[in-house]
Amino acid sequence: MPTLIPIALLIGAATVWVFGHTSNQKAIQAAKRRVKCRLYEMRLFTDEPALIWKAQAGLLSANVHYIGLMLVPAAILTVPMVLLFTHLEAWYGLAPLLPGCQTLVTVQMKTPLDTSPSPILAGPAEIAVETPPVRAIGERQVSWRIRPKAPVSSVLRIVLPSGAVEKTIKVGAGLHYISDRRVSGLWDFIWHPVESRLPAGNIDWIEIRYPTATMHWLGLYLHWLVWLVLFSMLSALLLKGRFGVTL
């Protein structure tokens, strides 16, 4: 948890800076004033239905305009945030496997399974492969059940007639940079960037099912993204006045 807090604070500061330099601050301030005015109208004219409806329509229009003013800085922040979050998920979103706990390894093939032999899964001595390959013909997937026997940071080998490819595996307690899926496609690589892309061949992706991690602080077990949002919002709220930015 301590390592995530500085990242969240920097994200909040970066958000304030981007909004301050890429948004129309005067228009945002005016839009927020219109929203407040419409809310006051709804409270003042409670016995005038026609005025209430007019205030509600004005409130909706003011909110739409306000959201529209936020789109440009939000779009600028989207790309770097997505790239950052995929790496943070690899650090904080997945827990390593524990010795004695079963999990599944799945290979997604590009061609139908009934026309090609099943791949072979091989791993280090610390990993027991407990089942033969189980094929889901319609989905072009092959799965194995594995059971780690001891902490290890190693690779699994998927052997095909055309050659072999590898997939990293993490077993043991502690914070690890975990790759749950190694992919071949460029678009998928954006969401699973920990390992290099698979070489050209018949495998689309290889996945190890890791447990989801939670972060413990102040007696609460929450997903890392919840903590990140809380601390980044706190940072943004504290810094917006110093930077003279309206959000």
- How buried is 3 (Cβ within 10 angstroms: 0-12 exposed, 13-18 middle, 19+ buried)? exposed
- Provide the 8-state DSSP code for 97: B
Look at residue 128 in the predicted model and tell me its pLDDT: 96
121: part of which helix (H) or strand (E)? strand 120-122
213 contacts 89 by C-beta, under 8 angstroms = no
With a cut of 70, list the residues of the chain below it in pLDDT: 1-2, 115
Report the pLDDT value the prediction gives residue 115, as an integer from 0 to 100.
Answer: 67
Phi, psi (rounded to 5 degrees) for 109: -90, 160
Q: Please tell me the predicted confidence (pLDDT) of residue 144.
A: 97
Question: ∠ CA(21), CA(27), CA(33), 5° rounding?
Answer: 125
Q: What is the pTM of this model?
A: 0.85
Cα–Cα dist 192/99, whole Å = 25
Q: For residue 236, how many C-alpha atoms fall within 13 Å in the half-sphere facing its CB?
A: 19
